Structure 1
Amino acid sequence: MRAITVSEPGGPEVMAWTRVPDPTPGPGEVLVRVAATAVNRADLLQRKGFYPPPPGTTDTIGLECSGTVAAVGAGVSKWTVGDEVCALLAGGGYAELVSAPAEQLMPIPEGIDLVTAAALPEVSCTVWSNVMRAARLTEGETLLVHGGGSGIGTHAIQIGKAFGARVAVTAGSAERVRQCLDLGADIALNYRAEEFEKLVQADVILDNMGAKYLARNVTALNRGGRLVIIGMQGGVSADLNIGALLAKNAWVTATSLRYRPVEEKGAIVADVVGNVWPLIEAGKVRPVVHEVLPIERVGDAHRMLDEGGVFGKLVLTVGA
């Protein structure tokens, strides 16, 4: 098969579409012939050498894909050859074939084409596991999402609204602010010109910035608020005012989806299929795809995401 390989940590130019050995599904695994994959900021970090895959996982980049089942390993009964699926991966999506635990596969939601489905696994599992499972957002609460124009941000806006929350977001330009409002956000703030902690009080905050926003996020929390950190774009270390948290009975947590055990990912995937897929099929939540490019243009896709002009997800076609 062919896959994207990385010659050494570096810029987009270190990636190449080359021939590598085919993967073989082990017990409990499914081999997927990839139709499309999607680009995540974690992919850029891995390419630069800063985000290694979990031990025992392929070093091929790619945290999600869509495609058809090509083979099943021992003990797999839920999936059969020819099934159209999308999958949450620990790695390997930038390839013609990838093996994944059967628990991490999902059917394609009705009304969504196979290529577009590649944009769903990572955002849906990230948002559900953090906003709904961890932070337990409830109807009537306020959700603040940083990076509202990102893949995760555009999905979180829609999930928050679907479950009856008031949704506020930060974004980096007037155009992205407008796009977030058009998608359903109640409040959208340009973080280059406005101080969100003075304008929004939130029950749940989904944060991709980390250290840079820690103190400001704590200030923006309501009493009983929950801050979930899922990224470190603003650094890894900052002072935390424990007194401010105590005064609000608030909490802070940080999570990573990629390194969770298969059983935990399987539970998240099952929740997504049971709770999010019906919303997609009803038209209440939709995948937001900025552009679809062939896998051979993966370098261009990484540059586009790095430059910050992407609204939603970038999808790469492989075998479609």
Structure 2
Amino acid sequence: MPVLLITRSPSVHDSVVPLCAAAGVGAEVCAEPSLSLAAWREADLVLVGDDLTGALVGLAPPRRTGVHVVGVGVGDDAFRHAVELGAASVVDLPTGEGWLSDELSDVGERASPGRLVGVVGGAGGAGATTLACALAQWHAARASTLLVDGDPLGPGLDRLLGMEDLPGVRWEALAETAGRLGARALREGVPRRDHLGVLTWSGLRRRLDVATARRVLPAAVLGHDLVVVDLARQGGPLLAELVDRCDDLLVVTPATVPGLAAAARLVADLGRDDRAGLVLRPGGLSDADAERVTGLPVVAAVADQRGVAASVDRGLGPLAGRGPLARAARALLADAA
């Protein structure tokens, strides 16, 4: 049961139940405190009407998270009883309806956030976007995945995956909204094919600000098992913000003198980070050379794969069948896990 509402008050009932319906979560209403104890532990969220807090305190239910006291014009007793119940907050309706709606929007979501993997090109044309798409495609065959386009000058990740015609929200719409973004709302709102969602731009006027990224990424990782962010090499404060939120950072670069020199400059700008690793593309230098120049460990090497361009042109994305990209995606995500 997602929500347990314990109340006999018609005003509390008529305020809370429509909010649950609007959030798309089920609610069980219990008017008898003693009968509510059977569902006390199982509910994702417990809302106790201020009319029954005293009776519930007398039953001494076990402490748990996700308990809130709700009421219309709550009095001082509600706050005292909330402390005795271990409730996280007291919500005065209708003033607190906005906050309660936000809380309900994430009911039933994972208790802990998913993993956030950032992919950035150490040099231009290194294949970072291709790898980001491959990682997302590989994991989406197994669990809920979101591919986030963090490069305003990129080709558009939906186009690389053949998803540009799918309906859904893009960055522009999210940038125009304010307030908390629910994990379920984001997951169900973006263009999606099976377990793979993509968040990118819809037109040519592309802009992503730090404030929007700070609102969206927490909802993204709460609503998905894996979030892959394709990062822009020259993102300034935005790049720093996105990198700071990554659990793992993959720097893709060819094993060439120009490629490693550019990657070394990028790494120096970002700062040494234990979460970062090099993904090497073909070149004449060794793994040891790459590690010495950049200061990062080599975590994978991805050979050239035939047919990638044709696969993308057919709307299949870069990960079509077996090959170097699939092997690298499997190994990298296994290491990240």
Q: TM-score range by the shorter chain?
A: under 0.3
**Larger strand fraction of residues:** 1
TM-score with structure 1 setting the length: 0.26
- Higher CA-based Rg: 2
TM-score with structure 2 setting the length: 0.25
**Larger helix fraction of residues:** 2
